[in-house]
């Protein structure tokens, strides 16, 4: 079968909720993938940062195979011998007391929202049914009905109402608006420390610190969604580390499974995460031993291969090399942190998609985001040589 055969099958049988580039991948290794025609591409998306450790990392692969031979699912009706080790490793690494495991990122966000509401009722004294949570414009936190209830993107919402109540939305990074939005019933502020899907938007220096202090002063929980920004992408373990702030809860996902398996989690304090009593929240697959074994190996790779430091170093290098683009009439702005760079094009460029198409022809896979931004987020294991080659292609395409 050839590329066009797979595409026509997909068009016939798959719900059209995505519009992928026309490349059919059959193999991946490190930062590279091969399509069914045998053509090789350098990946500059890393599955939205789920592949920080690169494709099919041998150490994670081995952990997965070994665990799959023993036991893969127990349900949490019983205990397993891997989940407690993941709890210990993740909490110690990030400096939190407890974790709650789920599968997808959206489930981790839902978990944090449920924890915040219950905390509001049981610890803050908010009247039943009144808890409110503040979220930010242009957020991306996933696709459930409750999560799209506080999205500001029409595509994510149109036709999916009625929506979940209890959310207030303010412009991202607008501290005065945040102060004004607080009510006595506000239990939490939810934000991405850097907004990924809306185009790698970095808030003003000091914003996260001010949010932290405001939350403490008003007895509200600070929830950071680090599903895309976390685990090394920005050149720090967590993006909130750039301002040395500690949220009350952090949502993790994507790279926690190293591209092998969906693993997500919420980490937080004992005070917050013990609001859940047995039976009040859960997931059949959440915390299964296969997921835990994969996540343990994913974290080991991140630390042992110094991927966080690599992201910082290679990110700074990439930013330098892209410097000449700043005077390119097609380019409005280049921004980012670590190996997470958005090249926003001017509206007259006619959208980022056609440049991603041209990049694909040159052997680089990147994805447009928010119509006008080319997102560069290669696996953190990428070599400097490969990164340079990929950047050469980008510079050529934008010429
Ligand atoms: C990808 C993402 C999610 C959702 O994760 P899924 O695994 O797709 O449910 C939530 N928040 C952020 C910031 C993300 O980038």
Question: Does residue 289 have its Cβ closer than 6 Å to ligand 1?
Answer: no
17 CA to middle of ligand 1, Å? 16
**Number of neighbouring beta carbons within 10 Å of residue 154:** 8
Q: Please choose from 18, 106, 109 the residue to mutate so as to test ligand 1's pocket, defined by most ligand atoms within 8 A of CB.
A: 106
58-304 CATH = 3.40.640.10
Which pLDDT score is estimated for 2?
A: 96
Mean residue pLDDT across the chain: 97
pLDDT of 121 > 90? The answer is yes
Ligand 1 atom nearest residue 253's Cα: 7
Q: Please choose from 110, 141, 223 the residue to mutate so as to test ligand 1's pocket, defined by most ligand atoms within 8 A of CB.
A: 141
Which pLDDT score is estimated for 321?
A: 98
3-56+306-397 CATH = 3.90.1150.10
Give the Å distances, CA to CA, from 328 to 178, 293, 346.
36, 47, 10
52 CA to middle of ligand 1, Å? 15
Which pLDDT score is estimated for 370?
A: 86
Domain extents in the chain: 3-56+306-397, 58-304
What number is the average pLDDT over the span 110-114? 98
Contact 263, 256 (CB under 8 A): yes
Which pLDDT score is estimated for 385?
A: 98
What sign does the CA torsion over 344, 349, 350, 354 have?
Answer: negative
Question: Does residue 140 have its Cβ closer than 6 Å to ligand 1?
Answer: yes
Question: Does residue 141 have its Cβ closer than 6 Å to ligand 1?
Answer: yes
How large is the angle between the packed helices 83-94 and 289-304, nearest 10 degrees?
30
Question: Does residue 227 have its Cβ closer than 6 Å to ligand 1?
Answer: yes
Catalytic residues: 140, 225, 254
Helix, strand or coil for residue 184?
coil
Question: Does residue 228 have its Cβ closer than 6 Å to ligand 1?
Answer: yes
Question: Does residue 285 have its Cβ closer than 6 Å to ligand 1?
Answer: no
Is residue 143 packed enough to be buried (19+ CB in 10 Å), middle (13-18) or exposed (0-12)?
middle
Structure tokens at 374: 């080319």
What number is the average pLDDT over the span 13-35? 97
Contacts of 192 (CB under 8 A, 6+ apart): 136, 139, 140, 141, 224, 225, 226, 228, 229
Distance from C-alpha of 151 to C-alpha of 157, rounded to nearest angstrom: 7
Residue showing tokens 């580039």:
21
217 CA to middle of ligand 1, Å? 29
Global pTM value: 0.98
What number is the average pLDDT over the span 391-397? 97
Contact 101, 83 (CB under 8 A): yes
What number is the average pLDDT over the span 55-72? 98
Query: Helix count (H) and strand count (E) of the chain?
Result: 14, 15
Residue showing tokens 């291969």:
305
Q: Give per-residue pLDDT as tens, 222-252.
A: 999 999 999 999 999 999 999 999 999 999 9
Distance from C-alpha of 301 to C-alpha of 30, rounded to nearest angstrom: 13
- Residue 84's pLDDT band, with cuts at 50, 70 and 90, is very high
Question: Does residue 124 have its Cβ closer than 6 Å to ligand 1?
Answer: no
pLDDT of 307 > 90? The answer is yes
Among 48, 72, 66, smallest CA distance to 233 is for: 48
Question: Does residue 257 have its Cβ closer than 6 Å to ligand 1?
Answer: no
245 CA to middle of ligand 1, Å? 22
Give the Å distances, CA to CA, from 200 to 28, 264, 339, 344, 371.
26, 21, 11, 9, 13
Question: Does residue 193 have its Cβ closer than 6 Å to ligand 1?
Answer: no
pLDDT of 184 > 90? The answer is yes
125 CA to middle of ligand 1, Å? 31
Upper half-sphere CA count for residue 186 (Cβ side, 13 Å): 26
What number is the average pLDDT over the span 354-375? 95
Contact 3, 36 (CB under 8 A): yes
Q: Please choose from 50, 111, 140 the residue to mutate so as to test ligand 1's pocket, defined by most ligand atoms within 8 A of CB.
A: 140
């Amino acid at each position: 079968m050839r590329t066009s055969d797979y595409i026509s099958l997909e068009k016939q049988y798959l719900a059209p909720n995505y519009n992928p580039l026309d490349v059919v991948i059959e193999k991946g290794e490190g930062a590279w993938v091969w399509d069914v025609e045998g053509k090789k591409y350098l990946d500059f998306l890393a599955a939205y940062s789920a592949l920080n450790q690169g494709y099919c990392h041998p150490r994670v692969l081995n952990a997965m195979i070994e665990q799959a031979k023993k036991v893969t699912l127990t349900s949490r009706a019983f205990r397993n011998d891997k989940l407690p080790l993941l709890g210990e490793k993740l909490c110690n690494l990030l400096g939190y007391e407890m974790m709650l495991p789920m599968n997808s990122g959206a489930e981790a966000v839902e978990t944090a929202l449920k924890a915040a509401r219950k905390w509001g009722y049981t610890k803050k004294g908010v009247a039943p049914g009144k808890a409110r949570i503040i979220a930010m414009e242009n957020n991306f936190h996933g696709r459930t009905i409750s999560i799209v209830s506080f999205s500001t993107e029409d595509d994510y919402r149109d036709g999916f109402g009625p929506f979940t109540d209890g959310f207030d939305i303010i412009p991202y990074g607008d501290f005065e608006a945040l102060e004004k939005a607080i009510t006595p019933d506000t239990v939490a502020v939810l934000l991405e420390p850097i907004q990924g899907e809306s185009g790698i938007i970095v808030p003003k220096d000091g914003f996260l610190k001010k949010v932290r202090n405001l939350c403490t002063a008003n007895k509200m929980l600070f929830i950071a969604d680090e599903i895309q920004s976390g685990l090394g992408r920005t050149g720090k373990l967590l993006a909130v580390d750039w301002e040395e702030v500690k949220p009350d809860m952090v949502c993790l996902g994507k790279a926690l499974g190293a591209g092998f398996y969906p693993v997500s989690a919420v980490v937080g304090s004992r005070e917050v995460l013990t609001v859940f009593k047995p039976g009040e929240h859960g997931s059949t697959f959440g915390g299964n031993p296969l997921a835990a074994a994969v996540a343990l190996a994913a974290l080991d790779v991140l630390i042992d291969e110094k991927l966080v430091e690599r992201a910082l170093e290679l990110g700074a290098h990439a930013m330098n090399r892209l410097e000449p683009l700043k005077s390119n009439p097609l380019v409005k702005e280049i921004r980012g942190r670590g190996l997470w760079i958005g090249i926003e094009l001017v509206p007259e460029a006619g959208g980022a998609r056609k440049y991603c198409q041209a990049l694909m022809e040159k052997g680089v896979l990147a994805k447009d985001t928010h119509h006008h931004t080319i997102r560069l987020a290669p696996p953190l294991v990428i070599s400097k040589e490969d990164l340079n080659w990929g950047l050469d292609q980008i510079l050529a395409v934008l010429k």
